[in-house]
């Protein structure tokens, strides 16, 4: 080799060194290509016949834009992942240069193209990793706002805790990592509880439940927990990830509600017992009063004048009304009492109710029709009370024409909607809610008999079975009472 060739090889090596250095330190494709063009141009200085270029990602890089007008060039493709994404090459003014350029510089240009292709592949990987890391940070920040996360090894030793874990437990990461979860054990749960937990996750199954923990300052907190085992190639857990949500306020509210429900149940039991005792204890003196009045009427009827006998008749009627009132109160108090729930064929039950009301139905020439009624689940005698009271009301509050009563039913997705419609006197709109209260009467006893408890019993029976009751009515036209019963 001549000295000139030695110098050329040194310039090539120096150029490749500078290119290698730039590829390690530069991460912007535009900046890198501009640097490469400068380094490549130094190979042919002071030549003004040859102009290196890089054509990549629809961008063109060269030092002399006028070289774009030249007709002669040769180039080598840049490939990333086996696909051509650009070219590295040379423009030259004299076509005679092509043979010498290809012989002396082809390997040099190919090295640059290969290195640039590798640099692009690495950049794509780094950009993808950077994007994944950015997304991971977004997810981590989102989790830190809500979820408590811990990662343990297969023995339960904590390897990682997130920020939220430290905030809730009031321990630092340094205090938690290397420990197991006994550091936050509240002592609330039994050994069997944790045995079942470990038995589940050690078999590779996910465990879900609520755990009461103790913070560093001695306060307690509840967490809804999901523990997910990570399995190795043979299906054995090598680590566990626990994701928790603090539910302390929810648990406190739940406990408060349970206490209130228990207190309400106790209060209802006491009220029912009180009502039963009162009504039962009233029976004996009332029977005595009624018996004495009946005896007075029997033995003194001839000796008393008409006014005295009328007073005795009023007293007898009063005791009978009192007896009916006590019976209705006793029925109302016993609605919530524990009873056996059975299947009830409403079709057969309605037939029995109509038979019980046969005399009243005939006296007022009532016409009763009904849809095909379903089988429901409930307390039989309470359903008898429900249908009897609603039909009896329709018979009682009639207009001049004979009553026409229809018992209908409509099937919904999760319930049956029953209706009892009549052509009676109807109810004013302002009284539609009031009529379901105990002792609420819209008419005097002189006009219509009754204690004012019948519809209150209907409401209590329906609600006891998990349903709702309401009424639509128009004065002088009639009323439709509706109630729902959940399906079997």
3-class DSSP assignment, residue 144 = helix
- Write down the pLDDT at residue 488: 72
| Domain annotation for the chain: domains and CATH numbers | 3-139 (3.30.450.40), 154-246 (3.30.450.20), 252-333 (1.10.287), 342-486 (3.30.565.10)
- Write down the pLDDT at residue 418: 96
- Write down the pLDDT at residue 445: 45
461 φ/ψ angles, rounded to the nearest 5 degrees: -65, -50
**Average pLDDT by stretches of 10, the chain with 488 residues:** 62 80 88 89 72 88 76 84 89 72 76 90 88 80 80 94 92 95 94 94 94 94 95 93 91 86 76 65 73 81 80 77 66 60 90 86 90 91 87 84 93 93 82 66 45 77 90 87 90
Contact 397, 448 (CB under 8 A): yes
Token reading at 88: 């590295």
Residue ranges of E strands in 154-197: 158-161
Give the global pTM: 0.43
3-class DSSP assignment, residue 290 = helix
Q: Which of 239, 242, 236 is nearest to 203 (CA)?
A: 236
- Write down the pLDDT at residue 100: 66
- Residue 444: C-alpha distances to residues 441, 447, 452 (Å): 7, 5, 10
- Write down the pLDDT at residue 368: 93
- Rounded to 5°, the CA angle 14-20-21 comes to 90
Beta-carbon count within 10 A of 439 CB: 11
Name every residue whose Cβ is closer than 8 Å to that of residue 381 and which is 6 or more positions away in sequence: 339
Edge-to-edge strands, sheet with 404-411: 367-370, 404-411, 415-421, 478-486, 469-474
- Write down the pLDDT at residue 181: 94
Q: How many helices (H) and strands (E) does the chain have?
A: 12, 16
């Amino acid at each position: 080799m001549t000295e000139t060739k030695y110098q050329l090889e040194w310039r090539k090596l120096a150029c490749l060194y500078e290119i290698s250095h730039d590829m390690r330190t530069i991460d912007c494709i535009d900046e890198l290509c501009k640097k490469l063009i400068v380094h490549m141009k130094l190979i042919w200085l002071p030549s003004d016949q040859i102009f290196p270029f890089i054509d990549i990602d629809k961008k063109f890089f060269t030092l002399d834009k006028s070289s774009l007008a030249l007709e002669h060039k040769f180039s080598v493709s840049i490939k990333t992942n086996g696909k051509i994404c650009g070219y590295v090459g040379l423009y030259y003014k004299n076509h005679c240069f092509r043979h010498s350029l290809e012989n002396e510089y082809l390997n040099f240009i190919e090295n640059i193209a290969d290195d640039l292709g590798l640099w692009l592949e690495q950049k794509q990987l780094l950009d993808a990793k950077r994007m994944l890391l950015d997304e991971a940070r977004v997810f981590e920040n989102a989790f830190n706002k809500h979820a408590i996360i811990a990662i343990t090894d297969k023995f339960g030793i904590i390897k990682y805790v997130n920020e939220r874990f430290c905030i809730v437990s009031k321990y630092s990461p340094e205090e938690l990592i290397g420990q197991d979860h006994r550091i936050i054990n509240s002592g609330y749960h039994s050994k069997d509880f944790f045995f079942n937990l470990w038995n589940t996750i050690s078999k590779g199954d996910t465990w879900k439940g609520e755990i009461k923990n103790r913070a560093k300052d001695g306060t307690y907190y509840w967490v809804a927990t999901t523990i997910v085992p990570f399995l190795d190639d043979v299906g054995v857990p090598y680590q566990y990830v626990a994701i928790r949500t603090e539910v302390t306020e929810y648990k406190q509210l739940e406990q408060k509600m349970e206490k209130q429900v228990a207190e309400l149940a106790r209060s209802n039991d006491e009220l029912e017992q009180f009502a039963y005792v009162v009504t039962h204890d009233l029976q004996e003196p009332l029977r005595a009063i009624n018996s004495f009045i009946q005896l007075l009427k029997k033995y003194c009827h001839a000796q008393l004048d008409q006014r005295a006998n009328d007073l005795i008749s009023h007293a007898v009627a009063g005791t009978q009304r009192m007896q009916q009132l006590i019976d209705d109160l006793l029925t109302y108090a016993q609605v919530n009492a524990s009873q056996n729930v059975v299947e009830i064929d409403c079709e057969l039950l309605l037939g029995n109710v109509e038979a019980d009301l046969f005399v009243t139905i005939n006296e007022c020439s009532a016409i009763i029709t009904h849809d095909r009624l379903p089988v429901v689940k409930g307390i039989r005698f309470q359903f008898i009370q429900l249908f009897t009271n609603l039909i009896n009301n329709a018979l009682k509050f009639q207009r001049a024409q004979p009553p026409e009563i229809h018992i209908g039913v409509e099937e919904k997705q999760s319930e049956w909607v029953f209706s009892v419609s009549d052509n009676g006197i109807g109810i004013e709109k302002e009284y539609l809610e009031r009529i379901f209260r105990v002792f609420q009467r819209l008419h005097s006893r002189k006009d219509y008999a009754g204690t004012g408890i019948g519809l209150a019993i209907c409401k209590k029976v329906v609600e006891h079975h998990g349903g709702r009751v309401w009424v639509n009515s128009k004065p002088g036209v009639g009323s439709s009472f509706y109630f729902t019963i959940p399906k079997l």
